């Protein structure tokens, strides 16, 4: 599944990325949004009523991210596609394992000493590791999945 979310659904788009779903963002005129989505093979996610009913567009009614996720899951069973924390939250690209020695000068010294597994975004080179921030995100993901049930 590949989505493109307009500015009205930034929170949903970020949450989809956190859940491992490919979702880009778009700000610009509606006509260009539709063209971009078609060129990239993406489904448009929007709250814009002008786009409601158009081919390749999913109109999202909910105001809260969890309600928006429920809507999307009901329409497309996206839950089956969840691969939590597998994408760069900035670039939307799959992150890859990286050798610890490669991050020595790229992460805080304490982090280098206390963690063994590291991951990197091949685009922006951002480094990820299994620290407290990841644990907080995992707790948030669990709450999201529980709320979808």
Q: Which domain holds residue 73?
A: 2-81
pLDDT of residue 73: 96
Q: Are residues 40 and 70 in the same domain?
A: yes
65 and 100 in a single domain? The answer is no
In the sheet with 2-6, reading across from the earlier edge strand, the strands are: 22-26, 2-6, 43-46, 57-59
On whether both 11 and 69 belong to a single domain, the answer is yes
Q: Are residues 73 and 114 in the same domain?
A: no
Secondary structure of the chain as H, E, C letters: CEEEEEHHHHHHHHHHHHCCCEEEEECCCHHHHHHHHHHHCCEEEECCHHHCCCCCEEECCCCCHHHHHHHHHHHHCHHHHCCCCCECCCCCCECEEECHHHHCCCCCHHHHHHCCCEEECCCCCCEEECCHHHHHHHHHHHHHHHHHC
pLDDT tens per residue, range 98-144? 999 999 999 999 999 999 999 999 999 999 999 999 999 999 999 99
Each residue's pLDDT tens digit, 53-104: 999 999 999 999 999 999 999 999 999 999 999 999 999 999 999 999 999 9
Residue 91 falls within a domain, yes or no? no
In this prediction the pTM is 0.92
Cβ(100)–Cβ(118) below 8 Å = yes
pLDDT score at 31: 87
- State the total domains in the chain: 2
* Residues 73 and 9 occupy one common structural domain: yes
């Amino acid at each position: 599944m590949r989505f493109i979310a307009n500015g009205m659904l930034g929170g949903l788009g970020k949450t989809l990325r956190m859940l491992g779903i490919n979702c880009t963002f778009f700000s610009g005129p509606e006509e260009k949004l539709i063209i971009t989505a078609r060129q990239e093979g993406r489904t448009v996610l929007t709250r814009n009523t002008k786009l409601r009913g158009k081919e390749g567009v999913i109109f999202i009614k909910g105001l809260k991210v969890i309600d928006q996720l429920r809507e999307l899951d009901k329409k497309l069973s996206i839950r089956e596609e969840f691969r939590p924390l597998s994408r760069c939250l900035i670039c939307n690209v799959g992150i890859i394992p990286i050798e610890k020695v490669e991050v020595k000068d790229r992460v805080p010294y304490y982090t280098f000493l206390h963690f063994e597994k590291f991951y990197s975004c091949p685009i922006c080179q951002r480094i990820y590791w299994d620290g407290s921030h990841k644990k907080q995100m995992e707790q948030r993901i669990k709450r999201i999945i529980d709320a979808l049930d």
